[in-house]
Amino acid sequence: MNAVNSLTNRVFDLLLSPLDAVGAWLSLTLVSGVFGILALVVFKRISWQAGIKSTKDKIKGHMIEIRIYQDDLALVSRAIGKVLYRNLQYVVLNFGPFLPLMVPFGMVAAQLVVRYGFEPVAVQTVEDDRLAGQGTTFEIEFIPEMKSAAGDLVVDLPEGVVAVSPLVRVPRQGRAFIEVVAIQPGIHEISFTSGSHTEIKLLHAGIEGLEREMQPERGRGFLSALLWPAEPAFAGDSPFALIRTVYPERPLGWLPGSGPIAVLLAFVLLSMAFGFAALKPLGVEI
């Protein structure tokens, strides 16, 4: 999955670079609209369009039958049964083709979240402001079989990042914590080492536009790689289960809300709106 994410990141970098100047909300709107229309085209190709149209027509016919013969309980009962059966058939005909679209939907949604959901952390240029509670906390978790590895954890901070709290290790829980502040803008590589294993977590700091994508956590497994494609998931032999921090949520202009939930909601609603608007022009039965 890491290789797929690496390729996908490069493709989205290429496609979205021309949209940098128009702002996050307009970029999100355009990408959502294009995806909604492309998904509709794919749906038309892989679905049984004639079957969907026929099923819809039969449902309408049975509804008319219920209205015409509303005084005949036996006929109405049979017609209701047919409506229920045809509705089930209609759901299956529509839902089946959507299944293969769920994977690209998830990948596009994840790309939009890491690109438009967060802002870089602030840079603390005044030394007196570099206090505990004013920085960014990193939480490190180890896999259950390697909880004791937390006791050996060493954190190496690059130039441009300083600690404002000591590294707190909790081997019994397999967790550790450290709070840092960025004193220079940039994409900083923070190194976490336990035994012979070293993992890197990026920290984006400074002005907006310094980066293309960022994610607050790095984990392991397929689901983590699918949800957070900006940084590679941990290898199977790594003792690390999760390295998490917090980024400020990015506002989306005229779109309601901010952060990843707002990005996902906007993506779903906008892609659906563009898709429904294109139903008749594209001649799609749904």
Question: Does residue 230 lie within any of the structural domains?
Answer: yes
Question: Does residue 226 lie within any of the structural domains?
Answer: yes
Same domain, 229 and 201: yes
- The pairing of beta strand 186-194 with beta strand 154-156: antiparallel
Same domain, 97 and 29: yes
In this prediction, residue 129 carries a pLDDT of 65
Give the integer Cα–Cα distance in Å for 230 and 20: 18
Extract the tokens encoding 214.
């960022």
Same domain, 8 and 107: yes
Same domain, 211 and 140: yes
Question: Does residue 252 lie within any of the structural domains?
Answer: no
Domain count, the chain: 2
This model's pTM is above 0.85: no
In which domain, by residue range, is 16 found? Answer: 2-117+259-282
Question: Does residue 9 lie within any of the structural domains?
Answer: yes
Same domain, 13 and 63: yes
Same domain, 113 and 186: no
Same domain, 131 and 205: yes
Same domain, 108 and 152: no
Question: Does residue 249 lie within any of the structural domains?
Answer: no
In this prediction, residue 45 carries a pLDDT of 87
Same domain, 8 and 74: yes
In this prediction, residue 209 carries a pLDDT of 52
| pLDDT profile of the chain (286 residues), mean per 10 | 80 80 81 91 86 85 82 79 85 82 88 91 77 86 93 94 94 95 93 94 78 86 89 92 93 79 91 90 83
Question: Does residue 24 lie within any of the structural domains?
Answer: yes
Same domain, 147 and 192: yes
Same domain, 101 and 204: no
Same domain, 135 and 240: yes
Question: Does residue 97 lie within any of the structural domains?
Answer: yes
Question: Does residue 180 lie within any of the structural domains?
Answer: yes
In this prediction, residue 208 carries a pLDDT of 59
